[in-house]
Structure 1
Amino acid sequence: MEHKLLIKKASRLSVAPMMDWTDRHCRMLHRQLSKETLLYTEMVTAPALVRGGALHLLDHAAEERPLALQLGGSEPEELAEAAALGWQAGYCEINLNVGCPSDKVQSGCFGAVLMKDPDLVARCTAAMISASPAEVTVKCRIGVDEDDPADVLPRFLETVAASGIRRFAVHARKAWLKGLSPKENRDIPPLDYPLVVAMKRRYPELHISVNGGIASLEQAEAFLAEGLDGVMIGRAAYHEPAAILAAADRRIYGAAGPDSSAEDAARAMIPYIAAHVDAGGRAHSVTRHMLGLFAGRPGARAWRRHLSTAAARPGAGAEIVEEALALIPGALAAE
């Protein structure tokens, strides 16, 4: 039970699971900026774990925690087995993806298309809960295609909550499964934040986080002040990690401070990059997640350019971060 209380506290602010972005290197960077924020893996499909035996997809470092595993799937027994594997691998939260609109996800009958079948989602989550002590949660949309969100979202929440789910992260856009690409699904359907707030007021016993289009810590604080339990930030946390996360521990969680800094995070990643390269990895695998670290600051363009080009050099290692730091005014003086 203690792990559920800890993960619930962490979920006041979280970085959304994003394919090809929130891998273990990205999460390690984010952890240098915030010790409290809840982080998520990229979506891992239950078939890959259960049928494919791809247990390496669960690999993570203890330093990344608090950390949640997001699963994709639609077969209750398979999801139950995957949830058990996630718990055994050290994840205290297992999240079911009911929000991704990609064609690949639809063809596998999971992601946002599952919003059309809340009874199936409830069977999946009930099986996951029975198989693992981890906190099982759901990330969903407000509806899909021609749905009326004001009608379908309450029914979805009620049906899935009856299985034992108490935490939902709600992306405040409908998913258009017909005629829009996944990229367009991030921008074109209008956001309906008031509906998500209304769901919290209608179901005060549920823990509801809002997701979608949130671009600043100020916005996150405003949503929390409105009564939502948590805020999940996606692209902004990736493209401007320091702007979102450096002050999060103090402003969202009440930590004493001082705030972290982009410079400190960059330096903290140097031994991590060195170890990754020594183990046969490429510096680029890590530094690609660091390009936005100084977003909005003098020297940010030079920082991005140097990391991008230097990481392509044969034998590039952690030294490229020190070289790029020298291009940020005042960064070396902050050592």
Structure 2
Amino acid sequence: MTSDKPFSDRTPNALGGYPLQRPRRNRRTNWSRRLVAETSLTPADLIWPMFVIEGDNRREPIPSMPGVERRSIDLIVEAAREAETLGIPAIALFPNTDPKLRTGDAREALNPDNLVCRATRAVKAAGLDVGVILDVALDPYTSHGHDGLLVDGEIVNDETVDMLVRQSLVQAEAGADVLAPSDMMDGRIGAIRRALEADGHAATQIMSYAAKYASAFYGPFRDAVGSGGLLKGDKRTYQMDPANGDEALREVALDIAEGADMVMVKPGLPYLDIVRRVVETFHVPTFAYQVSGEYAMIMAAAERGVLDEERAMLESLAAFKRAGAAGIFTYFAPRVAKLVG
């Protein structure tokens, strides 16, 4: 007997529901999962942070960051060549400055022959198709470990900005492709951009650490650059309160208006909501930093057998892309590039 009921009324659920729709069909096989994947991770999404030390053919393991090393300049050039081969578009260089050169006024930051400037020139002289990103901040050069100048117990803004401008010109002259002010001083992006334009460096890009939070996840990085044991107090008077989201959008808006070409959210995984909000609000290239503490947590859990290291690494980076990040600073960069390239 043929029913005269509409077909939709003869199904257990409304038309379009189960069993007509079975989302697991697309997940049954590896090829199908790859075919319908919404997010992809490629070597072009990665920026490889590197730590520079003095000497020749020197490597120093960083105990708090298993698998990460400080390298002398000659080995930095080798690593940059590896980055090019792997398809990683840019490296970020951070100096471990000799404690004897760290002073209250951070004058080594203005030395055109300082460690990071020499490393930059060496990489550029190698003729590699790899961008060099340099931090603009004073903490690798101060005796107190802060990103700015300390006067009577306070980080002074405008005097610090003057130093950052001078540091930026030194780094641009050394050949840096991208300057990344990470200090969180007010007004520094506009001041740096105007100075670059006036000094013949109009093509130098600025990637602003526009939303950098006063985070507990930076500890291993400070060990790597040698500033952790020097830090007096904390950085909460200039880095952002982790409780705030709207404030991040105001910071990003200011930096874009002042001339930033790209913006950064730091740290990464705890602040993916901020990455998404920045991307959706401003539609500018937005980067995130999988910081040292995030890296160290994954490695520590993997060493204890709690996590599958490779899967956790790839899953964490896919989350950055899913949130909308144009690229990711990650210490996993060379390993990931080999897996997804």
Higher radius of gyration, 1 or 2: 2
TM-score normalized by the length of structure 1: 0.48
